[in-house]
Structure 1
Amino acid sequence: MNADEEQVVAMVTIREALLSVVGENVTFIQPIVEALSGLGFNEHAQAGLAFSLLEADQAAGLTVRQRLALKAAIQAVAARLGAGSATRAGELRVGVVWVFPSGLGLSELKYSLKMFVLSCMLPPSGHAESAAAGSLTAAAAECGHRACGIPAALAGTAVAPGGVLDDRSFEVALAMLAVVPGTPPPATAAELRRWLEQPLGRPLPLDPSAYNWLRYDVDSRRVLHLVEATPGAFALSATVFTALTPGPPGGSEIALAVKLGPLINALFARLQALTGLLPHRLDHDTDRSRGRLRPNFCFWVDDTLVFKGEVTAKSHDMRLAVEKLGSKMGHVWSPIAFGNLPYLPCYATAGPQLQFYAVLKSQPQQPVSISKQFDLSVVADRVEVVHHVVNVFRLLCWCLRPLLPPYPVTVGAVLERPPGTTITILADRVVKKIKYFASNNKGVEYNDLANVYGATRHAAGLIHAIDGPTLSESKGTYQVVLAPLGNRRRPTNEGELRRAIQDVLHGVAALHQAGYVHRDIRWENVLCIGQDSWILSDLESVAREPAQTAAGEGSFRAACWTDETLDERGMYTTASDVQLVGELIETCKILSLGAQCVELKAQLTACAAASRPSAAEALCHPWFSASAPL
């Protein structure tokens, strides 16, 4: 390939190549960009031959997920460059590395591979080289013609003079997503159903040959008004065409999740890559959700769960899938989790059957149907599902996003905390697990945790255990279910700081009354639960008072301790907890504090432990008086 040919093909920057990977967004790619910078790659430079020859493992400090994303971007660029060379040679050579989920049959593996190749090769915007674009439609046709009867001969695409395609996907996507400015969100389930059925800003784009096939197919004529022949929108048309292609029949929940990818995941990702209107992340994991009350499919915008789904493998299990939509919402609609959202759009899938539902704020455990039931093995039904999915994107983008909480709690997320700790955030509670508790939580006794959660179950200012804690004898796994939900919003003024410190002192006083100390009081362990209320969390650091802190493998020492935390004997006492509460005032970083606040901070952090007030005594300080000036 000469320099002119490489310039024609490499029309994307490294940043665009990374963002074109399905599931990636600006936040997710930032560590990759920084790692590439260390190798001399500028994110705004064209992704040319040097980038295509890069090994993902050369980028240091990346997680497995980030390395896979980088590898996919490199492979996509290599495919584009290889396509330019193949234009002259009459062939297209594409190398793909893919890690398949377990539990897939041979036909499902083939389908998954083809979907991955399509997602890697779709151009994010601008221009696409003719051989690559032609191969997309051909690959999609090969993937689907046996399943839905679309002839491969109808899957070709027109090539502009000079062999370069002018891709109109950006303008078509914007027109398709357009709504009347200021359109209010649908308020009821009936209005939401009408919203999903309403026409798009313009119909779904299809390659003219694919559109003609639908036009002449008797079973698909009922949905022709939802699509249009759109020459030139190559990237978006290919994504829509792929979404209309049924996968192999049958399979497990994992296989069904793979087959839903082109219908939902890839469509959302393509619309975001083209328009940038709805930064999001998603996760479709049927395995981890078992026993955790976590949704099978989670779609987050601004770290708020805004769309979810449940998957069951058998077509007769639709009722079970719908029940899971409600049962996994908890008993209370949490403003901390969902802000001012009036409902949560979602879907239930049972085998080839899919139906859209809404979980209403007024009845979160009783999902309401907002669509008919679709058969994903029927192309016409898949057209309607794609139409509904795009309308969900419009709904989230234009109507619901302004209603999201300013300080979100990522419901559905599974947080990994070393060593061996996982925190699963549910709609109204948190499930905390620590594997190999004795070795991963040294210096803390399980019996102390069981006692302290029981003794403080009604105490103000503390998180509460609503189930457990338990410790399995076989693997030594510790588990506790905690409530209420809270975010890590810190106070922004002295009034909020006063309320937060007061709440924390109430929690600390309750611990001390029960004979325990917390030992890890810092803002990361203080949660705002709404309405200017805070609680102290993470009681998995408690110990009986006074606590030994001798150096050694089994000792406990928190990073928030200062030189004044321990007493003169090197013991951790109730005065040590009080000193850490005083440090909260210091580390909150509020620029101007009143004299009474400064006075209390000095008392709480006095160098001599004996000079500090108890938590109960500190609550009597004038700063906490309702008439105390700010």
Structure 2
Amino acid sequence: MSAQEIQEAEAKRIRLAPTTKWTVDAVNAFSEASAAERTIFRVPRAEPAAAREILDKVIALQASAAAGLLGVGSTGGAGADGAVAATGDAAEPGSGSTAADGVDNSREYATQLLGPPLGSPPHLDDLHRFIQGPPAAQIPISVDALSAVRLPPALQSHFRAASGQLAFAIGASLASPLRQGGSAVVWTVIMEHVVVVSLLQALDNALPASLRIGLVVARDQQLDRTLHTMTTTKSLGGSPVQPDGFLRGQDGRLLAKWEVKAASLEEAVGDLHKKMAAWTPLYYGDTEYLPCFAAAGSHLQFYAVSRARGGMASAPRAISPRYNLTNHADRAEAVMATIKFYQLLRAQQARYPADALPAGAVMRGSGPGFTRELLFRTDVLAARKRLSPWSAFASWCGVGFTALAGLYAATAQRPGLVHAVMGTPTLQGDLYCVDLTPLGLQSSSALPGTEDEARLMLHGLLHGLAAIHEAGFVHRDLRWDNFACSPPDSPTGGSRRWFLLDLETCALADQAPPPAFKPDGWQPDTTLVDGRYTRASDLFQLAWAVQAACWRVVDSAEGKAFLEAILTRPALQQRSAKQLLEHEWLQCVDPDGMCCRAAGAWPGER
């Protein structure tokens, strides 16, 4: 298959995006395509294209140029596709990169190359030696690629001529042309993708399903500033809060990140640190470090960011030499280091706890006419929540921004519920945004296993309700997804402290909700009192949400009496949240919430 044929196939495969100056500059500067081939991408549309789609096309052109050099088939369009997981088996006869008999041995090559999974990630002090060590077997590479580069004998001995998709991918990583010109940062993006990211994806895809990570690649979209997505979110100081790239497992947990700059590797390394200033076991468990890499100009280097004291992250520590990717020997060493880097990622994934939060990930959802986004920030310990358009959300649930901002301000010094970092949320146009603290374990990861744990859970959540009720509001959406708790105070255990999430559904008490607003868990003919949602409705909904988890572990007479009291039908409930905190089972030392340390989310807690 010729480069022209590959290019046309890629154009059909990819959903064509509209032209931007960035597209034309990138194609003109970094491909060997003819003028006719370039016009494939010049499709006029009114809307701006996503940078990830543009980059995918540029990489496709780069792969076409590589195919023309190497005389082999296409990579199948592997590119930075926003968030793309390697799926399926490696063997696909007829791909153009298999052996003459149609057999692709990529699975066997990958298994031998990566060896058995590491028992645990190497110690930080051993990482440099680990990354520089040779892979477990010789590296398969296409014959044409191996003959296209000149390597010192010591490096040449680590490679073996082979066929198949993995051999082609390694050949493209090592020998694909990197034509410099135009925008330096775009050229660097293409370089790190061709040499590192696409190879990591190819390794993952080649392994048997039981051994692969299920690697997901995501890029920051700040190459196109017209995009209005979470990945362009900035800090109060105006700098981006997201790294330029992420590597994740399919469960969303962060395995690695990277930064790209036009010329200064030191600047890229500085951004690695700045955008990962906070370290928490909620993101990383008990792992010692997070693997990273940085690229600038023609240079690339691998790093590790480790935990430091006080919930902070240390400055990035180099774990490899600095590679000049325009030098064949350096590029071969970078390919070898990338293979070892994949082994490291696999060990990191196995080390993470199942309940680790997806650091840096954007969790999206939708409602009637609006979207929700939640970003677990890594530059600070906070979660950024956005609702858009706010007017649609407010109409659906009957919430006013001024009232909601007042609730955040009124509860800022009370425990048991999340707090706005700057005191109140913001509303810019029709976009609602708030940074929230503290972070906590998802409730599904911390179900009560004893009566004491059930008591602490209800104790903390009631403090949150009491604060909301005293401000004149009700929560209205009390369910497991809106409960969280702090991690244990120490590795050996400790009391978990609970708090409420999602204040955006709060409204003034004793109001009739809009007809369309019916959260999961509301009980017909019970939750509302004469069509109104009251403070007693909140108490009942809290009890309804936790009753199954609590009844199975609560054995004492006092505990059962409390559960019956809080489960009283709203129309008959005589007690308030504060009065329930005074119940003998909870043993609250301060129902006003100023001194009791049973609740989570104390003001200033991260």
Query: Does the TM-score normalized on the shorter chain lie above 0.5?
Result: yes
Given residue 98 of structure 1, which amino acid in structure 2 is its aligned partner?
A: I
How big is each residue's C-alpha offset from its partner over 1:11-42, in whole Å with a ceiling of 9 and x where there is no partner? xxxxxxxxxxxxxxxxxxxxxxxxxxxxxxxx
Given residue 248 of structure 1, which amino acid in structure 2 is its aligned partner?
A: R
Q: Report if aligned partners of 2:385, 2:434 keep a CA contact under 8 Å in 1.
A: yes
Q: Equivalent residue for 1:64?
A: none
Provide the TM-score with structure 2 as the length reference.
0.74
Q: Equivalent residue for 1:119?
A: 75
Q: Equivalent residue for 2:402?
A: 447
Q: Establish whether residue 319 from structure 1 lines up as the match of residue 266 from structure 2.
A: yes
Q: Report if aligned partners of 2:425, 2:435 keep a CA contact under 8 Å in 1.
A: no
Q: Equivalent residue for 1:221?
A: 152
Q: Equivalent residue for 2:469?
A: 512
C-alpha distance in structure 2 between counterparts of 1:222 and 1:449, whole Å: 69
Segments of 5+ residues of structure 1 without an aligned counterpart are 1-82, 135-158
Q: Report if aligned partners of 2:359, 2:377 keep a CA contact under 8 Å in 1.
A: yes
Q: Report if aligned partners of 1:311, 1:349 keep a CA contact under 8 Å in 2.
A: yes
Q: Report if aligned partners of 2:60, 2:77 keep a CA contact under 8 Å in 1.
A: no
Q: Secondary structure at the match of 2:316?
A: strand
How big is each residue's C-alpha offset from its partner over 1:343-370, in whole Å with a ceiling of 9 and x where there is no partner? 0010112232222111111151522222
Q: Equivalent residue for 2:13?
A: 97
Q: Secondary structure at the match of 1:364?
A: coil
C-alpha distance in structure 1 between counterparts of 2:550 and 2:582, whole Å: 24
Deviation, structure 1 residue 500? 2.0
Q: Report if aligned partners of 2:536, 2:570 keep a CA contact under 8 Å in 1.
A: no
Deviation, structure 1 residue 434? 1.8
Describe the shift of the 1:408–1:618 C-alpha distance in structure 2 as closer, same or farther (beyond 3 A).
same
Q: Report if aligned partners of 2:477, 2:505 keep a CA contact under 8 Å in 1.
A: yes
- Which of 391, 400, 404 aligns to 2:352? It is 404
Describe the shift of the 1:296–1:205 C-alpha distance in structure 2 as closer, same or farther (beyond 3 A).
same
Deviation, structure 1 residue 297? 0.9
How big is each residue's C-alpha offset from its partner over 1:494-517, in whole Å with a ceiling of 9 and x where there is no partner? 443332222111111122222222
Q: Equivalent residue for 1:350?
A: 296
C-alpha distance in structure 1 between counterparts of 2:548 and 2:400, whole Å: 29
C-alpha distance in structure 1 between counterparts of 2:578 and 2:348, whole Å: 44
Q: Equivalent residue for 2:169?
A: 239
How big is each residue's C-alpha offset from its partner over 1:547-595, in whole Å with a ceiling of 9 and x where there is no partner? x21545xx75433322355553322221111111101223548755435
Q: Secondary structure at the match of 1:499?
A: helix
C-alpha distance in structure 2 between counterparts of 1:391 and 1:510, whole Å: 52
C-alpha distance in structure 1 between counterparts of 2:130 and 2:376, whole Å: 30
Greater displacement, 402-411 / 561-570: 561-570
Describe the shift of the 1:564–1:222 C-alpha distance in structure 2 as closer, same or farther (beyond 3 A).
farther
Q: Equivalent residue for 1:186?
A: 122
Q: Equivalent residue for 1:607?
A: 569
- 1:107-256 to structure 2, matched below 5 A, reads 107=28, 108=30, 111-114=58-61, 115=63, 118-120=74-76, 124-126=89-91, 128-129=93-94, 132-133=96-97, 160=100, 164-178=101-115, 182=119, 184-188=120-124, 190-214=125-149, 217=150, 220-221=151-152, 224-225=155-156, 227-232=158-163, 234-244=164-174, 245-250=176-181, 251=183, 253=185, 256=188
C-alpha distance in structure 2 between counterparts of 1:513 and 1:236, whole Å: 63
Q: Secondary structure at the match of 2:216?
A: strand
Q: Report if aligned partners of 1:177, 1:201 keep a CA contact under 8 Å in 2.
A: yes
C-alpha distance in structure 1 between counterparts of 2:103 and 2:291, whole Å: 36
Q: Equivalent residue for 2:507?
A: 543
Q: Report if aligned partners of 1:359, 1:368 keep a CA contact under 8 Å in 2.
A: yes
C-alpha distance in structure 2 between counterparts of 1:551 and 1:453, whole Å: 22
Q: Secondary structure at the match of 1:469?
A: coil
Q: Report if aligned partners of 1:170, 1:274 keep a CA contact under 8 Å in 2.
A: yes
Describe the shift of the 1:406–1:127 C-alpha distance in structure 2 as closer, same or farther (beyond 3 A).
closer
Q: Report if aligned partners of 2:117, 2:343 keep a CA contact under 8 Å in 1.
A: no
Q: Report if aligned partners of 1:282, 1:298 keep a CA contact under 8 Å in 2.
A: yes
Segments of 5+ residues of structure 2 without an aligned counterpart are 34-57, 65-72, 79-87, 223-228, 235-239, 489-495, 589-606
Q: Report if aligned partners of 1:295, 1:328 keep a CA contact under 8 Å in 2.
A: yes
How big is each residue's C-alpha offset from its partner over 1:588-612, in whole Å with a ceiling of 9 and x where there is no partner? 4875543544433322221243425
Deviation, structure 1 residue 132? 1.9
Paired residues, what number? 496
Describe the shift of the 1:344–1:488 C-alpha distance in structure 2 as closer, same or farther (beyond 3 A).
same
Using CA pairs below 8 Å that are at least 6 residues apart, which structure has the higher relative contact order?
A: 2
How big is each residue's C-alpha offset from its partner over 1:454-510, in whole Å with a ceiling of 9 and x where there is no partner? 22223222111113534345x232211111222323215244333222211111112
Deviation, structure 1 residue 431? 0.9
How big is each residue's C-alpha offset from its partner over 1:385-415, in whole Å with a ceiling of 9 and x where there is no partner? 2211111111222x32332022121112112
Deviation, structure 1 residue 166? 3.0
Describe the shift of the 1:602–1:341 C-alpha distance in structure 2 as closer, same or farther (beyond 3 A).
same
Describe the shift of the 1:421–1:231 C-alpha distance in structure 2 as closer, same or farther (beyond 3 A).
closer
Q: Establish whether residue 106 from structure 1 lines up as the match of residue 27 from structure 2.
A: yes
Q: Secondary structure at the match of 2:313?
A: strand
Provide the TM-score with structure 1 as the length reference.
0.71
Q: Equivalent residue for 1:426?
A: 377
Given residue 276 of structure 2, which amino acid in structure 1 is its aligned partner?
A: M
Q: Equivalent residue for 1:465?
A: 420
Given residue 120 of structure 1, which amino acid in structure 2 is its aligned partner?
A: G
Q: Report if aligned partners of 1:507, 1:536 keep a CA contact under 8 Å in 2.
A: yes
C-alpha distance in structure 2 between counterparts of 1:431 and 1:106, whole Å: 36
Q: Secondary structure at the match of 1:530?
A: coil
Aligned-residue RMSD, C-alpha: 3.2
Describe the shift of the 1:274–1:91 C-alpha distance in structure 2 as closer, same or farther (beyond 3 A).
closer
- 1:341-420 to structure 2, matched below 5 A, reads 341-362=287-308, 364-397=313-346, 399-418=347-366, 419-420=370-371
- Which of 556, 579, 588 aligns to 2:540? It is 579
Deviation, structure 1 residue 263? 2.6
C-alpha distance in structure 2 between counterparts of 1:609 and 1:403, whole Å: 50
Q: Equivalent residue for 2:391?
A: 438
- Which of 243, 252, 257 aligns to 2:189? It is 257
Q: Report if aligned partners of 2:220, 2:242 keep a CA contact under 8 Å in 1.
A: no
Describe the shift of the 1:440–1:395 C-alpha distance in structure 2 as closer, same or farther (beyond 3 A).
same
Q: Equivalent residue for 1:78?
A: none
Q: Secondary structure at the match of 1:238?
A: helix
C-alpha distance in structure 1 between counterparts of 2:301 and 2:113, whole Å: 23
Describe the shift of the 1:329–1:91 C-alpha distance in structure 2 as closer, same or farther (beyond 3 A).
closer
Identity %: 25
Q: Report if aligned partners of 1:508, 1:518 keep a CA contact under 8 Å in 2.
A: yes
Given residue 480 of structure 2, which amino acid in structure 1 is its aligned partner?
A: W
Q: Report if aligned partners of 1:298, 1:309 keep a CA contact under 8 Å in 2.
A: yes
